Structure 1
Amino acid sequence: MSERTPAPYAPRSVYGYAMYIGSNMLLLLYLVWAFVPEEFLHEKLGLTYWPSKYWAVALPVWILTAIAVFAFAIYPAINISMTPNIDDLRTITDEYCLERRESIPGGIPPVSDIPITEVCRKLYLQND
């Protein structure tokens, strides 16, 4: 398929189903590891090596902590560092600015951006 589309087609549905089954199996394996006592796993099932039960609690806590630090500290810091200063010209205009053009008297004016000087004049200067 040459174009990218979100519409379902055969390979995408097969991969999606395989990922669904795989993630459910990993969740089931994690729950067995976390909740079934080690004696039962060793004696009844013959499974001799499992990581320590400490990691069943520690891994989710570490992952959630990393997500929280990213969401509440790192991501806002990246956005703040990319924001231009308040006196930078980029805070009031950009390359997509539509300059004001002449319009027909009595007609609808064309779409354009209002210059910041005119906005300030209307908002902050008193009419004489």
Structure 2
Amino acid sequence: MLKEKAMEDPRSVNSPRRILRFSKNRRATVSFLDPDDGFGVPGDHGPKPSEVYGFVGSISTVVATAIFLVWAYVPEPWLHSVGLFYYPSRYWALAVPSYAMVTVVLAIGFYIGLNFMSTPPPTSFNTMFDEFSREPSSFVPSVEGDELPIEPISDIGINQINELMFNDLR
């Protein structure tokens, strides 16, 4: 009974021929629900370009890794038996990853060195004050009622920080 009802319903999709017929028919629309808003989303549906690039990138990475591992570890007689005679020297199987790792380590070292060079020494006043420093204002507004106005934004002085951190709390 249920199977017959599904066959009679023109919108039921239970065979590839019906799917193709619906895709050719301009009046047939399929709405996909977006889980965020719960409404049908009209228009073209398909993968976003970033999804396609990510998929192609991941597949090509796996393929390149497999080719590299075959080239680096399979003995030469096996490659010759398959018909591969022209390939790079096995020296590059070790040289390229080694050069890449040394380049990354040196880049990190240079980056840390540049940060040390651009940071002022600990004894410099530039570690406490710069062009954006704001002194607390000494203006005391008149108080009406119990509410006090919000103080303007300013830096906390080093003497207040030292007093809070290093004085004995009693």
Q: Normalising by structure 1, report the TM-score.
A: 0.69
Higher relative contact order (CA 8 A, sep 6+): 1
Report what 1:30 is aligned to: 68
Report what 1:92 is aligned to: 128
Correspondence list, 1:1-128, <5 A: 10-44=48-82, 46-71=83-108, 73-101=109-137, 102=139, 107=148, 110=151, 111-119=153-161, 122=163
Higher helix residue share: 1
CA RMSD of aligned residues (A): 2.9
Q: How many residues align?
A: 114
Deviation at 1:108, TM superposition (A): 8.3
| Residue segments in structure 2 that go unaligned for 5+ positions in a row | 1-46
Q: Deviations over 1:66-93 (max 9, x none)?
A: 222332x312211111112334432112
Deviation at 1:47, TM superposition (A): 1.6
| Residue segments in structure 1 that go unaligned for 5+ positions in a row | 1-8
Conservation of the 8 A alpha-carbon contact between 1:103 and 1:109: no
Greater Rg over alpha carbons, structure? 2
Instruction: Give runs of ≥4 in structure 1 deviating > 4 Å.
Output: 102-109, 117-120
Separation in 1 of the partners of 2:104 and 2:51?
29
Q: Deviations over 1:77-121 (max 9, x none)?
A: 11111112334432112344343134667858635312235556x
